[in-house]
Amino acid sequence: MPYFVWTTVFIAAGFSFTTAIAALGQAMAVRSGLEGIARQPEASDRIQITMLLGLAFIESLALFALFIHIVLLFANPFLKYLQ
């Protein structure tokens, strides 16, 4: 198969894997935040702010992965090494 087909397949697989891991991380963060709020309702404001900050960091990692995959797909810097 040509190089571009393999590149597309691996980029799609890599981004799918990255998205799945980010979604699992967000689910675990929300679950932990809700458990903390259920245990200590008086600390719910602080837990919620920390949880939202963590979710923003997880989502930013997913967006960085999307950016890297788009660069590899459309502006691949490794093309000059092909024969």
Judge whether 40 and 47 are in contact, CB under 8 Å.
Answer: yes
Full residue range of the structural domain in which residue 28 is found: 19-74
Non-local CB neighbours of 65 within 8 Å, separated by 6+ positions: 14, 15, 18, 19, 22
Q: What is the residue-level pLDDT of the chain in tens, covering all 83 positions?
A: 787 788 888 988 999 999 999 999 999 999 999 999 999 999 999 999 999 999 999 999 999 999 998 888 888 777 777 76
Inside any domain, residue 83: no
**Can you read off the two tokens belonging to residue 19?**
């998205």
Q: Please name the residue ranges forming H helices in the chain.
A: 3-39, 44-74
CATH at 27: 1.20.20.10
Inside any domain, residue 79: no
Inside any domain, residue 35: yes
Inside any domain, residue 4: no
Inside any domain, residue 51: yes
DSSP letter (8 states) at residue 75? S
Judge whether 72 and 33 are in contact, CB under 8 Å.
Answer: no
Determine if the pTM surpasses 0.85.
no
Inside any domain, residue 23: yes
Q: How many domains does the chain have?
A: 1
